[in-house]
Amino acid sequence: MSTDPYILAQEAAKALKSATGLESFDVALVMGSGWVPAADAIGQTLSEIPVTELPGFAPPAVAGHAGRVRVTRTEAGRHALIFLGRTHLYEGRGVDPVVHGVRTAVAAGARTIVLTNAAGGLRPEHQNIGDPVLISDHINLTGANPITGATFIDLTEVYSKRLRALVREIDPSIGEGVYVAFRGPTYETPAEIRMLRTLGGDLVGMSTVLEAVAAREAGAEVLGLSLVTNPGAGLVGEPLNHEEVLEVGRATATRMGVLLAKVVDRL
Ligand code: 8IG
């Protein structure tokens, strides 16, 4: 196994192709918390393996919770690579394992990366719990970056305008927002939430931005979708616990899965 993260991704892509018997993939989707139950609605499962069977994927942070990677065939015959779970920066393994799935997917042929997450809403006045929101842009407050060295990547349009327009054609009720990422694993203080609103954030979470940057570096087109599962700390009521996040995901699974299936078939 290589110690170079880019070569390691090529090795993982090769292993993925041989494990699945497929030579290429049309799209990859990363299913964040709340989105895993939506995966079944995207299409027919052709194969599924624990990511740890591929080079470079981190072992599970919690025993029995290894991420899995599934190959799905959509109704229109597209092949989607679906990551069920992701590695987060707060796990403390550094930035390379966080973006390894995206780099592997692009190395395996995916030209489109769909990044999903569950997020806190910073604008509860016009966001409902259980609503999907298109990520229009991000503010990276993780303190990390997946790229090292003088590689100056343009981030003017991280989240593809074309793909956002496509999603709104499918469901015009979906709004857009700026996603702010912290490293976590703590949620924010109420003062931090007020700061993020002043900074122009609409959503807050602990994922997605590093993967989006790695995908842009690799030349892929990115679609970002947040599922709002709680209002930011101090805005209204109490912050949700993780079980409530999963419950919101189960309640919205069909809507989110049908939406993703339509997106994949119209890419
Ligand atoms: I779900 O309110 C979810 N993930 N940082 N803040 C941060 N991450 C989150 C939140 C939240 N809700």
pLDDT truncated to tens, each residue of the chain (267 aa)? 889 999 999 999 999 999 999 999 999 999 998 899 899 999 999 999 999 999 999 876 655 556 999 999 999 999 999 999 999 999 999 999 999 999 999 999 999 999 999 999 999 999 999 999 999 999 999 999 999 999 899 999 999 999 999 999 999 999 999 999 999 999 999 999 999 999 999 999 999 999 999 999 999 999 999 999 999 998 987 777 788 888 888 888 889 999 999 999 999
Nearest-CA residue for ligand 1 atom 11 is 120
Q: Catalytic one among 75, 91, 176, 188?
A: 188
Compute the distance between CA of residue 108 and CA of residue 218 in angstroms, rounded to an integer: 12
For residue 256, what are the contacts with CB-CB under 8 A and spacing of at least 6?
A: 35, 38, 41, 116, 132, 225, 227, 249
For residue 227, what are the contacts with CB-CB under 8 A and spacing of at least 6?
A: 32, 34, 35, 116, 117, 118, 119, 130, 131, 132, 133, 248, 249, 252, 256
Report in angstroms the alpha-carbon separations of 91 from 62, 66, 97, 98, 157.
10, 13, 10, 9, 28
Ligand 1 atom with minimal separation from the 227 CA: 1
DSSP state of 53: G
| 169 in catalytic set | no
Compute the distance between CA of residue 32 and CA of residue 5 in angstroms, rounded to an integer: 22
Q: Which stretches within the chain are classed as H helix?
A: 5-20, 96-107, 161-170, 190-199, 209-217, 242-265
Compute the distance between CA of residue 90 and CA of residue 111 in angstroms, rounded to an integer: 28
Ligand 1 atom with minimal separation from the 117 CA: 1
pLDDT of residue 66: 64
Strand partners, 29: 82, 114
pLDDT of residue 250: 87
For residue 193, what are the contacts with CB-CB under 8 A and spacing of at least 6?
A: 120, 122, 204, 232, 233, 234, 235
pLDDT of residue 31: 95
Compute the distance between CA of residue 51 and CA of residue 5 in angstroms, rounded to an integer: 16
Give the binding-site residues of ligand 1, using a 6 Å CB cut-off.
Answer: 118-120, 182, 184, 187-188, 204-206, 229-230, 232, 245
Compute the distance between CA of residue 176 and CA of residue 225 in angstroms, rounded to an integer: 9
